[in-house]
């Protein structure tokens, strides 16, 4: 609750800023670029530190946590270089994604910022400094949203650069708060880092690939739309998802940080009850949070934001239902690494990617000269919503099965 309410002001600022940005500063094409950029960063960010952010929280002592951090930073340097090479390859290959302005600079900065913030959040969660985590995230979000207004002179790149500004402000604030504690720790040695790799190896071989697969499933959806649909349609989807995921991201990240940290304190015989208590509460809150979408008149959105955004509200209504199980399943996904069943996460996310890839393959015959007609795109979105809802209900069922397996 401290994390959620502490960051709530910043998330409210994001919601208030979005319509202003849409009405006066950025068009649908800029939000289309932002949607694709977010997916690229998300996929690479999922492997940025080999999930050493989770290893830090579960390390037996601070020296071990520092060794895990050193390993995470080394992985982050390699991943950041990979982001630069990927951006260059997309541009050279003639992909529409490669045409995003300054991608070769923005993508590595985004991956580095995401990975660094993950490591820093792990340290703050380890120390139960959730209040500090909340205000650093809020301050960074506010700075990033404010930066998007003057950066609009760069069009779509300005929308992305604002997000980067927020990420790096958050990282710098966390470093400033953690620096006094780090100074008292001895420097990690080579043998400490090797021991940390051995101790944390399951995060590398199971949790990291699982995260990549999860992000790749979402990325396949957005990349397919970006390459085959009109920029206006993709921009409306991107802006609509931005509204939906501002609050969702706040809940998922806040619950995940706390839930994973305190799983060790929950007795095994009451873990299933706690798991479903959290899951049901989250799903009910999500239903309540999404219900205003059906109260708002469609004509009101076009009148306030402009004719270019007339499809945004219908698209949000179409995509919103799958978010009910998604928020619960994602917020409580820490149950698998806690129980030592990271391989289950990997299997689930492989299934997810296969499901979305199958939807894309089924839509390929509908393409005409490499483009998808709007009517066919809407049908694709309906199928996507049904598939997503079914998958995340399966993920909650898998969490239940994992608890029962460990309980014996």
pLDDT tens, per residue, the chain with 408 residues: 666 665 666 677 787 888 999 989 999 999 999 999 999 999 998 889 998 998 898 888 888 899 999 999 999 999 999 999 999 999 998 888 988 999 999 999 999 999 999 999 999 988 888 788 888 888 888 899 999 999 999 888 999 999 999 999 999 999 999 988 888 888 888 888 999 899 888 888 877 887 788 888 889 999 999 999 999 999 999 999 888 887 676 667 667 666 666 777 788 888 899 889 989 988 998 898 889 899 998 888 888 888 889 999 999 999 999 999 998 898 888 888 778 887 888 889 899 999 999 999 999 999 998 899 989 999 999 999 999 999 999 999 999 999 998 886
d(CA 68, CA 78): 16
- Is residue 402 within 8 A of residue 345, CB to CB? The reply is no
In whole angstroms, what is the distance from residue 124 CA to residue 179 CA?
Answer: 12
The pLDDT, as a whole number, for residue 169 is 94
Alpha carbons within 13 A on the beta-carbon side of 168: 13
- Specify the pLDDT at position 76: 96
pLDDT, residue 139, reads: 87
Q: Count Cβ atoms below 10 Å from residue 99 Cβ, excluding itself.
A: 12
Contacts of 396 (CB under 8 A, 6+ apart): 279, 325, 328, 329, 332
Question: What sections of 103-262 are H helices per DSSP?
Answer: 103-126, 130-148, 156-183, 190-199, 201-202, 208-228, 231-262
Burial state string for 278-309 with b = 16 or more CB within 10 A and e = fewer than 16: bbeebbeebeebbeebeeeeeeebbeebeebb
| pLDDT of 406 | 80
Distance CA 11, CA 5 (A): 10
Say if residue 73 is exposed, middle or buried (CB neighbours under 10 Å; 0-12, 13-18, 19+): middle
Structure token digits, residue 65: 């946590």
DSSP string computed for 86-97: HHHHHHHTT-SG
Q: Report the pLDDT value the prediction gives residue 1, as an integer from 0 to 100.
A: 63
Distance between CA atoms of 14 and 24, rounded to whole angstroms? 15
pLDDT value of position 72 = 94
pLDDT at residue 41, rounded to an integer: 95
Q: Which pLDDT does position 392 carry in this prediction?
A: 95
Quote the tokens at residue 286.
């999500």
Max Cα-Cα span within the chain? 64
- Tally Cβ neighbours within 10 Å of residue 248: 20
What is the per-residue pLDDT for 266?
A: 80
Query: Which residues make Cβ contacts (< 8 Å) with residue 404, sequence separation at least 6?
Result: 272
Dihedrals φ, ψ of 371, to 5°?
-120, 150
Q: Which two tokens stand for residue 254?
A: 């806040």
Confidence (pTM)? 0.81
Residue with tokens 């199971």: 206
pLDDT attached to residue 29:
92
In 3-state terms the chain splits into helix, strand, coil percentages (rounded to 5) of: 85, 0, 15
């Amino acid at each position: 609750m401290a994390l959620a309410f502490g960051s709530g002001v910043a998330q409210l600022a994001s919601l208030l800023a979005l319509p202003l940005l849409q009405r006066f500063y950025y068009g649908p094409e800029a939000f289309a670029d932002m949607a694709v950029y977010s997916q690229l960063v998300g996929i690479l960010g999922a492997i940025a530190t080999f999930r050493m952010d989770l290893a830090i929280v579960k390390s037996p002592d601070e020296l071990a946590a520092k060794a895990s951090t050193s390993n995470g930073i080394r992985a982050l340097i390699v991943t950041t270089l990979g982001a630069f090479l990927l951006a260059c390859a997309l541009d050279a290959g003639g992909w529409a994604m490669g045409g995003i302005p300054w991608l070769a600079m923005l993508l590595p900065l985004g991956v580095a910022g995401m990975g660094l913030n993950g490591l820093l959040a792990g340290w703050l969660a380890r120390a139960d400094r959730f209040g500090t985590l909340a205000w650093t995230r809020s301050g960074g979000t506010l700075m990033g949203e404010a930066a998007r207004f003057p950066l609009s002179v760069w069009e779509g790149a300005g929308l992305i650069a604002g997000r980067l500004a927020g990420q790096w402000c958050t990282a710098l604030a966390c470093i400033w708060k953690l620096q006094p504690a780090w100074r008292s720790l001895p420097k990690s040695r080579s043998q400490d880092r090797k021991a940390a790799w051995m101790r944390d190896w399951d995060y590398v071989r199971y949790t990291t690939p699982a995260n990549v697969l999860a992000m790749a499933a979402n990325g396949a959806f957005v990349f397919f739309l970006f390459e085959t649909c009109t920029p206006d349609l993709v921009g409306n989807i991107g802006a609509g998802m931005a509204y939906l995921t501002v609050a969702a991201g706040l809940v998922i990240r806040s619950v995940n940080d706390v839930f994973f940290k305190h799983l060790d304190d929950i007795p095994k015989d009451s873990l299933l009850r706690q798991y479903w208590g959290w899951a049901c509460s989250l799903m009910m809150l999500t239903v309540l949070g999404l219900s205003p979408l059906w109260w708002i008149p469609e004509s009101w959105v076009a009148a306030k934001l402009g004719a270019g955004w007339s499809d945004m509200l219908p698209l949000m209504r179409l995509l919103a239902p799958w978010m009910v199980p998604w928020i619960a399943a994602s917020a409580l996904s820490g149950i698998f690494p806690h129980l030592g069943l990271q391989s289950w996460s990997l299997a689930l996310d492989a299934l997810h990617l296969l499901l979305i890839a199958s939807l894309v393959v089924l839509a390929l015959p509908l393409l005409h000269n490499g483009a998808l007609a709007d009517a066919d795109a809407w049908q694709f979105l309906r199928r996507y919503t049904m598939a997503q809802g079914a998958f995340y209900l399966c993920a909650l069922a898998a969490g239940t099965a994992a608890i029962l397996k460990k309980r014996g």
